[in-house]
Amino acid sequence: MNDTHRPDLTSWVESANAPDADFPVQNLPYGVFRRRESDELPRVGVAIGDRILDVEAALEEGVLGIDTPARTAAEACGAPWLNGLMALGPEYAGALRARLSELLRAGAPEHAADPSIAERLLVAQREAELFVPAEIGDYTDFYASVHHATNVGSMFRPDNPLLPNYKHVPIGYHGRASSIVVSGTPVRRPVGQLKGAGDEAPTFAPTRMLDYECEVGFYVGEGNAHGEPVPIADAERHLFGVGLVNDWSARDVQAWEYQPLGPFLAKNFATTVSPWVVTMEALAPFRAPAAPRPAGDPPPLPYLWSDADQARGGIALTLDVLIASRRMREEGVAPARVSRASFTTMYWTPAQLLAHHASGGCNLRPGDLLASGTVSGPERDARGCLLELTWRGTEPLTLPTGETRKFLEDGDEVTLRGFCERAGARRIGLGECKGEVSAAR
Q: Are 147 and 380 a contacting pair, CB within 8 Å? A: no
Closest-CA residue to 272 (of 247, 242, 243, 241)? 247
Amino acid, res. 369:
L
Please give the angle made by the CA atoms of 27, 415 and 343, to the nearest 5 degrees. Answer: 55
Which burial class, exposed, middle or buried, applies to 421 when counting CB atoms under 10 A from its CB (0-12, 13-18, 19+)? middle
- Active-site residue set: 148
CA distance 235 to 353: 9
Which burial class, exposed, middle or buried, applies to 201 when counting CB atoms under 10 A from its CB (0-12, 13-18, 19+)? exposed
CA distance 347 to 39: 45
Span between the terminal Cα atoms of the chain, in Å:
50
How many Cβ atoms from other residues are within 10 Å of residue 206's Cβ?
Answer: 18
Conformation bin of residue 373: beta by default, left when phi > 0, alpha when psi is -120 to 50: left
How many Cβ atoms from other residues are within 10 Å of residue 39's Cβ?
Answer: 6
Q: What are phi and psi of 256, to 5 degrees?
A: -85, -35
E strand or H helix that includes residue 414: strand 413-420
Distances (CA, A) of 395 to 161, 249, 383, 386, 388: 20, 19, 13, 10, 9
